[in-house]
Amino acid sequence: MYDLRSDTFTKPTEAMRKAMYSAEVGDDVYGEDPTVERLQRMAEEITGKERSLVVSSGCMGNLIPLMIKGGKGMEVLTSGYSHIVNHEIGAVSSLGGTLPVIIPSDHGIMKADEIAKHIHGYAYDMSESAIIETENTTSGIVYPIDDLRSIRKLADSNNLWVHMDGARIFNASVETGISVREYADTASDITFCLSKGLGCPAFSVLSGDKDFIEKAKRLRKLLGGGMRQIGILAAAGIYALENNVARLRDDHEHRAAISEALARTGWADIEISATNMIFFRSDRDMDSIVAAFRRKGVLFLKEGDMGRIVLSLNISDEDTREIVRIIESMDPKEFV
């Protein structure tokens, strides 16, 4: 099976498992796990932020900042495509108490002047804007750095916090050559995932200033995310940051080859093809398309009415050639 469902399906490689096996560990709730400490220092180097904290998941990395800077009566300004709005069971409001305000966007890319129209200052009868949330990449699309800089400027002049969901920030950085630190500079805090294209079994890292990370540590405990000898998992993160970042370029090349093959078929209409993701529409029934590919050993998902393909280290150059061959040889009569 060629698994194109998500980059979360990656499995730790032999070398990553060896790094995990030999990790030095301690009780991280007491701040005594040297491997976790090392991973956090690496994240600070990479993002340029004062402090970092390992969190159990991307969802937790999003929720904690929204809880610190949002809360009852407060708003987070975000796009209607964002993960916090669509895929986190409404935690932003159900657990965080914060109202998400949807800013019109182009596939998740918001413009500062559009955001400006939706900022609410204090009024006795209105919720108040507290946070702008950017997601980079968003549905695989890299946020243009100029837009991010304009958003940060707008936030600073309105005393708003900027949280960046950088689940796939390394994909953005590898694609554009713009460093993660430059992207992180456009946000007050940033979280990135180790458990997606970087190939780790778990974890995200949240980075921000000292005061913010101290508060984050308490909230992580409150949410049940204080874990003990997690250096075993942090070692996978260190391995990934040292070995699996540059290779994300391969995933982007594989995505381009597969997207070009789909575009040539006549039955697939590409909506988004960027970094490691493809979203496509079809005038054929998408469930049937997904089922036909599954019969040929290619797994991908239907999201809304679109097909969604995600490349990761699950897929080699040779696999990509075979997937392209399967796409080219697919008979649309199979879509029944």
Task: List interacting residues with ligand PLP (CB under 6 A).
Answer: 8, 57-59, 62, 83, 135, 165, 167, 193, 195, 204
Nearer Cβ to ligand PLP, position 135 or 251?
A: 135
- Residue 127 CB, shortest distance to ligand PLP, in Å, is 24
- Residue 290 CB, shortest distance to ligand PLP, in Å, is 19
- Residue 120 CB, shortest distance to ligand PLP, in Å, is 25
Nearer Cβ to ligand PLP, position 86 or 157?
A: 86
- Residue 232 CB, shortest distance to ligand PLP, in Å, is 18
- Residue 134 CB, shortest distance to ligand PLP, in Å, is 11
Nearer Cβ to ligand PLP, position 143 or 335?
A: 143
Nearer Cβ to ligand PLP, position 52 or 204?
A: 204
Q: Give the residue at shortest CB distance from ligand PLP.
A: 58
Nearer Cβ to ligand PLP, position 73 or 90?
A: 90
Nearer Cβ to ligand PLP, position 62 or 314?
A: 62
- Residue 6 CB, shortest distance to ligand PLP, in Å, is 7
Encoded tokens for 59 = 């969802």
- Residue 191 CB, shortest distance to ligand PLP, in Å, is 8
Nearer Cβ to ligand PLP, position 164 or 298?
A: 164
